[in-house]
A and B are shown apart, each in its own frame.
Chain A
Amino acid sequence: MKKVQSIRIENLTKSFGSGDSFVSVIDGASFTVNKGELIALVAPSGAGKTTLLMMIGCVVDPTSGQIWLGEEKVYDNHWLTNNSRQIRREKIGFIFQAHYLIPFLNVIENVTLVPQTNKIPTKEANAHAMELLKYFDIADKAYNKPSQLSGGQNQRVAIARALANNPEIILADEPTAALDTERSISVVKMLKKIAAEQNVAIIMVTHDERMLEYCDRVMKIEAKKIVFE
């Protein structure tokens, strides 16, 4: 399969604070992730994994460098877009360690919130959401609130939500940390399948060595730079 660039980072740096409180987290990171790839991001706590993901997701401002999402250059020492949230809801799916579903919305409303914001008609959005929920084997919970679901079920809903806007990129920050090994493996397999089937680039932060065998490549943060194993 031809490699198509999905995320491209050039010479990205990120530091926090100034003077005594100055910390440099990422310094001169460059890498490319292609469509259809599942990348594992492994690094010790505090190495800057979340920070990197949030910069790619246009949530945290880098200090300098360049970012491309797909063909579009979104950052060149400053944001090239004035609506980062539009980029997020149209191109990116987020998955976190906790499910972070909206407690006052039921499962299907949680899944369709972003598509509906993208002006997808309710009917269409619901149909797509139901498909995803069936895929993740939780369609019977579509009208339940997150509080009525188990942790694993909620995490699957969260993954369905991340997929609902047909993203080009999925950024998953320790999506399996709260799950047991069996569930973790099934989630990672699922992500692998999504990456392959839907041609999505996925970066998944994990601390779990056992998950690495399901990933296409393993990315590490070493000396504030990105290296691949």
Chain B
Amino acid sequence: MINLAQKDISHTLGKFIVTAMGVGMLLGIVLIMIGVYRGMMVDAEKLLKDISVDIWIVQEDTLGPFAESSRIHEDFKDTLKVIEGIDKSEALTFQNLQLYGLDKPVRVTAVGFNPFGSINPINSANLIAGRTLQKSHYEAVISTESGFKLQDKIKIGRNYFTVVGLTKGTVSSGGEPLIYISLKDAQELQFSFSNAIIRNDRERGINASGDIHTVNTVVATVKEGYDVAQIAKKLGMWKHVGVYTNEEQTTILTKNLVERSSKQIGLFTAILVVVSTIIIGLIIYTMTLEKMKEISIMKLIGIPDSIIVKMIVQETLILGFFAFIFGNIFSHLIYEKFPKRVVLEAPDALGLFVVIILASVLASFVGVGKVIHADPTVAIGG
């Protein structure tokens, strides 16, 4: 049997391809939307993965240090070291900064760590130029996405920091580029007051010079052979701290995000899919209208509805299929141009494929309805 859909499409191939590309762009945007969501999930875990520790100690009753602010005393890191099963422990700080010196101010998250400590949050796999911190003051390693280059001098607070290393793809859980500075510098920025304030406070009789030996979290790794959950549980019995395993910390960061973003992006995606379905339906409808005369003739000479309906449904499916292919090409061409991370995953594309095929079948109904009701005598004008 002649494949009518294929014949009709190849008869107006150029038009068909342009149409499929148009719908494909729409589907490409759907893929990008899903990719943005995946990117947010990746970003949320990126910092945790780079730091790669087993246990997070934070201020009690907080979801620190990322989801809520947390302050604990730096010396917990030393206390931790004597606990059985703990391998290494270090104090870390996190704070938001706005950096100047480029065309536009850049928002970054600063990670403060001890350059001479046992845990280095800079994953050497991300370090693409320069080196890690080697001095306890005024050096910085920064994400290349921030726009800063090696040897740039960045003014933070009252001091100039020299960029000694560049990392790629390092972001905070919110997707902002990172700047790594020494713990001491970070503490001074976060917890110390200027001399003027201290003088002023002193005159007002307040002693609020701040405890500079404060950090946001203390992290630790566990020796091989020890159960992380058990140690975490033991530590949790201490007073005045909260303890999370790395897994729990990951959940805190992603759960919140999943709840907030999946609804947002899910809704966007659903709307776009509905719009795509309507557009495919309209295209098929007009394609069917253009063929009404041929359809009437076919009915007149005795071609059964099933064959004509098959043509319409196949055309819709072919349109959906090519739109999907173009959508994938389109999304892969542009996804890197987005400022935030976009992660395109095959299972998502596959899911969209299934949805689009279902949508195409749905969309073909309008054309099919038109076919069923076509009057064969219309062709010959009565």
Contacts and interface: CB of A to CB of B under 8 A. Distances in A.
A88 B377 contact: no
Interface string A114-145: 10110000100000000000000000000001
Interface residues of B, number: 24
A122 B1 CA distance: 7
Contacts of A122: 1
A33 to B, nearest CB: 20
Interface in B355-382: 376-377, 379-380, 382
> In the complex, which of the residues B2, B301, B382 has the most CB atoms of chain A within 10 Å of its own CB atom?
B301
B351 interface: no
Contacts of B347: none
A53 to B, nearest CB: 9
> In the complex, which of the residues A88, A97, A122 has the most CB atoms of chain B within 10 Å of its own CB atom?
A88
> In the complex, which of the residues B2, B12, B377 has the most CB atoms of chain A within 10 Å of its own CB atom?
B2
Contacts of B4: 104-105
B302 A114 contact: yes
A85 interface: yes
A94 interface: yes
A77 interface: no
The majority secondary structure among interface residues of chain B is: helix
A145 to B, nearest CB: 7
Contact of B304 (A57, A85, A109, A116): A85
- Which 9 A-B residue pairings sit nearest by Cβ, starting from the closest? A89-B302, A88-B302, A104-B11, A104-B8, A85-B302, A100-B297, A104-B7, A102-B294, A116-B1
Interface of A: 50, 54, 57, 59-60, 85-90, 92, 94, 96-97, 100, 102-105, 109, 112-114, 116-117, 122, 145, 161, 173
Interface of B: 1-2, 4, 7-8, 10-12, 293-294, 297-304, 307, 376-377, 379-380, 382
28 contacts: A50-B382, A59-B376, A60-B377, A85-B299, A85-B304, A86-B304, A87-B302, A89-B301, A89-B303, A94-B301, A97-B380, A100-B380, A102-B294, A102-B298, A103-B294, A104-B10, A104-B12, A105-B2, A105-B7, A109-B7, A113-B2, A114-B301, A114-B303, A116-B1, A116-B2, A117-B303, A145-B11, A173-B380
